[in-house]
Amino acid sequence: MKKNTMIKLASSAAAVLLATTSANAGYTMKKQVGDAATKLTFFGFSQIVAGTGEGFKNANTDDNVKFGADRIRLGWKYVSGPVRGKVFLDFNQNDNKGNEDVGANRVIKDAFIAYKYSDALVVKAGIIKTPVGMGFTIPGWNLDVVKRAFDKQLAFERGNGLMISGRDMGMGNDAKVNGLEMGHERPMQGFGYDVMIGNQTTRSGAVTANSDDTDGKSNAYMARLHYDRGEALHLEISGGVSPHAGGSAGTEDYKVLNIGLDSHFGEGKNFKAEYYDVSGVLGNVHDVNTLALTYTQYVTPNLELAIKTISGEATSSSKGNTDGRNTYAGFNYYPNQVTTKMDRSGKRKNNQHVIKVNYVAASGNLESPSFEKDDAVLAMYQFKF
């Protein structure tokens, strides 16, 4: 245990050191290789957290304050003409769930290559964030509250496979599309899509890995369609299936339908709504539906109020009908404000340095992965480069 702890601490320290060095020396390196101009960009972020209360999983009693880290990540992106590549690592991962189907340790979050034929056609292959779940495809450093909430476990997570994507189609907006998009990173005009075939999605909290039963192995299929009207509206619908979610043939397929809406309006106002309808959790007779509502409001350029409430209902063969709600309420403070612009792009820039504090109110007994059944207080400091 001590050896593993020291390895993790050393890896984390190395990541922070590299991040600092890259920031001081510049984030991007450019090199001419023959006739091709190439660009290599380093990026990363660290999230240090503290929490107390029975609902904070690392706390032994509601009187203790425990410290930890949610994400300690470092990555790089490569561009050469129409060719792209991305590798993204998380030094805070310590289990191998999903190795059998993803083909890599969970330390590797993304590792894929891409070819951009046009804004409307980008082909990616490798370990990719799957295109199901609006909240899941929002980067972990750009969240409104400290945690994603329990519905993240209902997404397919990351998978190994082939994806084709398109963005900014149908309205001649000429938005910047770099070929590495996984969600709705930039305001656009028109339609976008993602279609993916991959191995079983055993990094999901709702799919069981079983490498000994090859009869239970099948491909997973996912698709997403979205429509954008700049900052004012992003609407998407996505779905997919990962067969034999119990890890062997004969268990139920895990099926997901997700609908999401994201709207920035007024001065510093943002509203999100997201609905999940899933069946076959862990290959059992287990169905869940959830609704998440999020609202954020800037008070000053340095301070934003945020509230997210997520409620769910479940029917399972073991527990029958259950329901519950988790509500995150608090504020985001930006100690090193980059811009006073309160739109989606401005918030991404300000999230380079942010302190988040949330009170989590929990109620009910929902039978679903990672549902918090007790109250907690959470705090996080994040830096990103």
What is the structure's pLDDT at 169? Answer: 86
Q: Where are the beta strands (DSSP E) in the chain?
A: 28-33, 36-52, 65-80, 83-90, 108-118, 121-129, 158-170, 189-198, 220-229, 233-242, 254-265, 269-279, 286-300, 303-316, 320-333, 353-364, 376-384
44 or 172, which is more confident?
44
For residue 15, pLDDT beyond 90 = no
For the segment 358-370, the average pLDDT, to the nearest whole number, is 89
Residue keyed to tokens 């480069």: 385
Higher pLDDT, residue 113 or 3: 113
**Among 245, 193, 194, residue whose Cα is nearest residue 218:** 245
HSE toward the beta carbon, residue 166, CA cutoff 13 A = 14
CA–CA separation, 19 and 58 (whole Å) = 27
Range of weakest confidence among 68-72, 124-128, 153-157, 346-350:
346-350
Q: What confidence score (pLDDT) does residue 59 get?
A: 55
- Percent of the chain at pLDDT > 70 equals 88
Structure tokens at 116: 């951009």
**Residue 27: partners with Cβ closer than 8 Å, 6 or more residues away:** 41, 42, 43, 385
Tell me the percentage of the chain whose pLDDT exceeds 90: 59
In the 8-state DSSP scheme, what is residue 283? G
Residue 339 has pLDDT above 70, yes or no: yes
So what's the pLDDT on residue 209?
78
Indicate whether 1 pLDDT > 60. no
pLDDT > 50? residue 205:
yes
**Whether pLDDT at 197 is above 80:** yes
Q: What is the C-alpha separation between 148 and 153, in angstroms, rounded?
A: 9
pLDDT at 98 over 70: no
Q: Which domain holds residue 239?
A: 2-384
pLDDT single digits (tens) 30-85: 888 888 889 999 999 999 999 988 767 655 566 688 898 999 999 999 999 999 99
pLDDT for residue 303 is more than 90: yes
pLDDT at 160 over 50: yes
pLDDT for residue 145: 96
The answer, yes or no, to whether residue 213 has pLDDT greater than 60, is no
Mean pLDDT for the chain?
87
Region 331-336: what's the mean pLDDT?
94
Other beta carbons within 10 Å of 126: 21
Q: Residue 102: which pLDDT band, with cuts at 50, 70 and 90?
A: confident
pLDDT band at 287 (very low <50, low <70, confident <90, very high): very high
Predicted pLDDT of residue 17: 39
Would the pLDDT of 319 be above 60?
yes
Q: What pLDDT shows up at residue 369? A: 76
pLDDT at position 99: 74
Q: Comparing 58-62, 66-70, 190-194, 356-360, which segment has the lowest mean pLDDT?
A: 58-62
pTM of the model: 0.88
Report the 10 Å Cβ neighbour count for 160. Answer: 21
* pLDDT above 50 for 158: yes
Question: Total domain count for the chain?
Answer: 1
Residue 328 belongs to a domain with what CATH number? 2.40.160.10
Token pair of 342 as six digits: 């309160």
> Mean pLDDT, to the nearest integer, of 201-214?
79
The mean pLDDT of 214-221, rounded to a whole number, is 79
* C-alpha–C-alpha distance, residues 190 and 172, integer Å: 8
Q: Distances from the Cα of 310 to the Cαs of 15, 62, 298, 362, 378, in angstroms?
A: 34, 23, 22, 10, 17
> Nearest 5°: phi and psi at 94?
-140, 15
| Rounded average pLDDT over 319-346 | 89
* Higher pLDDT among residues 171 and 285, named by residue: 285
Comparing CA positions, the residue from 75, 102, 184 lying closest to residue 137 is 184
